[in-house]
Amino acid sequence: MNPFKYSDDNKRYHTLTYFYKHKFNSKVAKISLNAGFTCPNIDGKYGIGGCIYCSKLGSGDYAGDANKPLNDQFNDIKKIIDKKWPNCKYIGYFQAHSNTYADVSTLKSKYEPILQIDNVIGLSIATRPDCINDECLDYLEDLSKRTYLIVELGLQTIHDETSKLINRCHSLECFKQCVLKLRQRNINVVVHIINGLPNETKEMMIDTIKYLNNLDIQGVKIHMLNILKDTKLALIYKNKPFHVLTKQEYVDIVCDQLEYLKDDIVIHRITADPNVDDLIEPKWLVKKLTVLNEIDKEFARRNTYQGYRLKK
């Protein structure tokens, strides 16, 4: 018998599939979109060149073609999914770059048409904590009253030295204040973190997760650092190679992290999903299902689950 309460199967962590099923009583699919935004860490407002790991598509490698209208991007993917899951509901996922980095009138022109598409139940908006001003907050609050809304905030690490190395160009305090402001308006928050950043120890990665327990967040995305062609990280790795986590090291760290994470926080992602053609390292990331299976096996071997260490 599975000891984890938020599960209908063998998973010992709070999966997004479980959450969607019990909230919407339906299959739910996220459709990734590229709305043509940029980032203040690219255009010079806060930094230049972006985070060192960021791909040329702004971490939106599976988003749509920015040259196509958003409705066309959405419907191209929707037609394929409808054949597999005819009664599926949808969330429009504004993925590439920083999707609140514009004035509110521009945001409305991007978001509102997606909400008019049949069976769209919500929006997920990926952005940075330094890209949400008060006017934007007002609009997001209005959206959250009309649809299921998630704001996805990049944190990656709580450690200042690492943050400077990867060129995040915002502080931990900036991130914290953004979460507080969003939650004061009852807006759902999902936080992105990255395991395997250069020079970070297992304990440092666990500390990042422990920090999140102190915030009112609704979900986490755990990524494995992937080194992609034509990034600053690729150049750093070529000139001064650093240790890249093995699959077993990654599985071990993720299980430790989840044992420390509150069990009501939904795990929206638990590995990375890089573009195979651009991937330099780690090569084991291309077998995503294997990584997921190894995490399941390790939890079963330990006989533990998400939040286990908080119960002791």
Ramachandran category for residue 21: left, alpha or beta (phi over 0 → left; psi -120 to 50 → alpha): alpha
Residue 8 lies in a domain: no
- Paired tokens of 229: 């062609």
92: Cα within 13 Å, side-chain hemisphere: 27
Residue 311 lies in a domain: no
The boundaries of the domain holding residue 135 are 16-306
Residue 128 lies in a domain: yes
Mean of pLDDT values over 270-291? 93
Residue 87 lies in a domain: yes
Residue 28 lies in a domain: yes
Q: What is the largest CA-CA distance in the chain?
A: 54
Taking the model in full, what pTM does it have? 0.95
Count of CB atoms within 10 A of residue 181's CB? Answer: 17
- Per residue in 161-177, pLDDT tens? 999 999 998 999 999 99
Residue 6 lies in a domain: no
Predicted local confidence at residue 61, as pLDDT? 53
CATH classification at residue 95 = 3.80.30.30
Predicted local confidence at residue 56, as pLDDT? 67
Q: Are the beta carbons of 188 and 150 closer than 8 angstroms?
A: yes
- Per residue in 43-57, pLDDT tens? 878 877 788 898 765
Determine the Cα–Cα distance for residues 111 and 136; give it in Å rounded to an integer: 13
Predicted local confidence at residue 57, as pLDDT? 57
Predicted local confidence at residue 312, as pLDDT? 64
Mean of pLDDT values over 215-231? 96
Number of domains within the chain:
1
State whether residue 164 is helix, strand or coil: helix
Determine the Cα–Cα distance for residues 104 and 120; give it in Å rounded to an integer: 21
Residue 117 lies in a domain: yes
End-to-end CA distance of the chain: 20
DSSP assignment of 211-279, as one string?
HHTTS--SEEEEEE--EETTSHHHHHHHHS--PPPPHHHHHHHHHHHHHHS-TTSEEEESS----GGGE
Residue 1 lies in a domain: no
Count of CB atoms within 10 A of residue 279's CB? Answer: 16
